[in-house]
Structure 1
């Protein structure tokens, strides 16, 4: 594996701090990290001790070898003792006045002033203009009110991290601002507008700029996006975030059984509740959905609506306690989190669910994408008596392969984007009679894992696309002639029939980044198909 972006998410304008702060590793932070890391260290020690016990059979031979080695070391020490005595290394760290006469370590006389330069600024040989470096760093990190942040979960050469991009729309500029190292392959990210963890209660009530990250590990990490060079997350939701439960954890360490307190398998989806801002829902491969209180970082409730991995979640925009969940058991559930024992309506689909979305322009409807490349559009008011009796308003065979990502534009009614492992992105116009394809593109990102529209009015036509090649591209869809024609009545101050070359802003991949199953011939064929798709842009797929 060379490089790939598994998922991406936009941050609305106006939430990022103009000047992100540098990470401060003080005594309090050291103690906090020590507590959070203690469980991991204890686990490692336990594993090491178990491994030692398993190898007791060969312990005697190893002991004999070790004793022989120690005898040889003692002989060496005796031989070299007289040679080393003249250096008086036992008094190496003593102050000059405490050292024996004639043994002052003049060559190291400046060590203390060098080590403590930052605190007492007394070293006469180091001169740095006051504030110069700080001012330059501050300017480099600045984020303008017109900038968007874009979060990309990336795996590169077996290392996992979250890249925080800055997108400057007017300057056609996209660059990595900073990144966050992750413990495992990231699977989902969710932006949060509430402070979590070590922040004060006062900060939790105001707007913030945080992110929750789900990975192949069962714990959910929460990071402050306005702090660069962080060493450890602000909070951990799950087993690794409760140092006080150390004894309980040790007893359950080997257990993979689902429970009501934390996930025990990979976290596949996250959904923040925008009305009840302290609530975060998570879906896991352990078949459960969990509701977390971000004020306490504890699991408030656990739900078992599905019989297989739960892979996608979405909160209802109006009925803010209703959560939509999709699963590999090929069902979708719309449940009220306040009534966990009530029977929730359930819909069925033909293959594993990939993603679920509520219609942002009509809360009575929702979308479901599947592994077979199909999108279903359902009316929640027509819940079936059983999943097998589900009758969607319409279905669309959008792609021939897995429909790995899709998004509904929250600002432009009827504008839908789909991305697939067939390496194409398609734009759709949803009309009263159903969706019609507007254009299909291969944006050279490999297999498409993420395709999401920007959330703000000024950039609503921008589509962020990323995939298995590890590259991120921003496509200004309003510059496409077919899009202009299909959405002419929704485009303000844009000529309807103007033929403009597509505006695409992106970050180039490394030369080594490539898909093992991708060939140049396939890419050439798909580029030729793009031209044909433009000619028939209003035909239904």
Structure 2
């Protein structure tokens, strides 16, 4: 896999904590920022197309697979569901534990929520499984020995990947909810994971100075992208080998989009 070019998306006043591509419009990417806003960008022009300000600093964001809703989590452990057409909140849920990242399954009837510390300050390594749209609890998946920071769903519907503070990424068979593989390519707490559009590759990042891209079936690294001192979020484009990245660097509020000419 070889790296091509990139474009910067500038406009947030503070750091971008996470981003995600619109699954139905491959030129649009949504970003969640500590500046309390959620923005929708057109990567062809580099311009912000939509903006909404929410109640707190935003740290996580995910698209519903049909592209109709966006889930956003802030530092107050509050989950907000946005309607994309009006770009306004339609549901909210407050959690009594540290909420990290969220992801829908491909049929959009289940929402996975990774959690860190509970209300007693203990880390359980649990992924909460909620029904959608009711947001009622269905199950708890004990995935790691430390807090679960991030999650991604294989676009083919086979796997869910969970990144943890224990520096591991676990790969789970969704039909059986069994762990089939762990990735050990990251050396510190895993902050972000993302499958490419074919489900063949998994990108992950941390405070390490690189983004790791691994083959899902073997767990082996196929490419590493050098970057700043910390990676907050990576997300593959839904139709091509474009990888968007946001991180803690010296330039606040910028998203960078990388392209790849080949895979191997």
TM-score (norm. length: structure 1) = 0.40
Q: Could you tell me whether the CA contact under 8 Å between 2:17 and 2:232 is conserved in 1?
A: no
Separation of aligned partners in 1, 2:233 and 2:96: 26
Q: Could you tell me whether the CA contact under 8 Å between 1:237 and 1:298 is conserved in 2?
A: no
Q: Could you tell me whether the CA contact under 8 Å between 2:104 and 2:110 is conserved in 1?
A: yes
Note the 1:11-90 alignment, pairs <5 A. Answer: none
Q: Could you tell me whether the CA contact under 8 Å between 1:408 and 1:453 is conserved in 2?
A: yes
Larger helix percent? 1
Shift of the 307–380 alpha-carbon distance from structure 1 to 2, 3 Å rule, reads: farther
Q: Could you tell me whether the CA contact under 8 Å between 1:312 and 1:355 is conserved in 2?
A: yes
Q: Deviations over 1:343-393 (max 9, x none)?
A: 4111122112221011222x243110012211112234445xxxxxxx523
1:179 aligns with 2:13: no
Note the 1:88-487 alignment, pairs <5 A. Answer: 173-176=5-8, 179-180=10-11, 182-192=12-22, 212-217=30-35, 219-223=36-40, 225=42, 234-238=50-54, 263=55, 265-275=56-66, 277-304=67-94, 306-317=95-106, 319-329=107-117, 330-341=125-136, 343-348=137-142, 349-361=144-156, 363-382=157-176, 392-411=179-198, 413-431=199-217, 435-439=218-222, 441=224, 443-457=226-240, 460=241, 463=243, 467-469=247-249, 472=256, 474=258, 476=260, 478=262, 484=264
1:284 offset after TM fit, Å? 2.1
Q: Could you tell me whether the CA contact under 8 Å between 1:212 and 1:220 is conserved in 2?
A: no
More contact order relative to length (CA 8 Å, sep ≥ 6) = 2
TM-score (norm. length: structure 2) = 0.74
Separation of aligned partners in 1, 2:26 and 2:212: 34
Q: In the alignment, which residue of structure 2 is the partner of 1:78? A: none
Larger strand percent? 2
Q: Is the partner of 2:82 in helix, strand or coil?
A: strand
1:444 offset after TM fit, Å? 5.0
Q: Deviations over 1:21-45 (max 9, x none)?
A: xxxxxxxxxxxxxxxxxxxxxxxxx
Shift of the 364–339 alpha-carbon distance from structure 1 to 2, 3 Å rule, reads: farther
Q: Could you tell me whether the CA contact under 8 Å between 1:192 and 1:272 is conserved in 2?
A: yes
Separation of aligned partners in 2, 1:430 and 1:220: 33
Q: Is the partner of 1:417 in helix, strand or coil?
A: strand
Q: Could you tell me whether the CA contact under 8 Å between 2:191 and 2:205 is conserved in 1?
A: yes
Shift of the 475–403 alpha-carbon distance from structure 1 to 2, 3 Å rule, reads: farther
Which is greater in Rg? 1
Structure 2: state its 5+ residue gaps.
118-124
1:302 offset after TM fit, Å? 2.1
Q: Is the partner of 2:216 in helix, strand or coil?
A: strand
Q: Could you tell me whether the CA contact under 8 Å between 2:21 and 2:238 is conserved in 1?
A: no
Shift of the 356–467 alpha-carbon distance from structure 1 to 2, 3 Å rule, reads: same
Separation of aligned partners in 2, 1:224 and 1:429: 29
Q: Is the partner of 2:229 in helix, strand or coil?
A: coil
Shift of the 282–475 alpha-carbon distance from structure 1 to 2, 3 Å rule, reads: closer
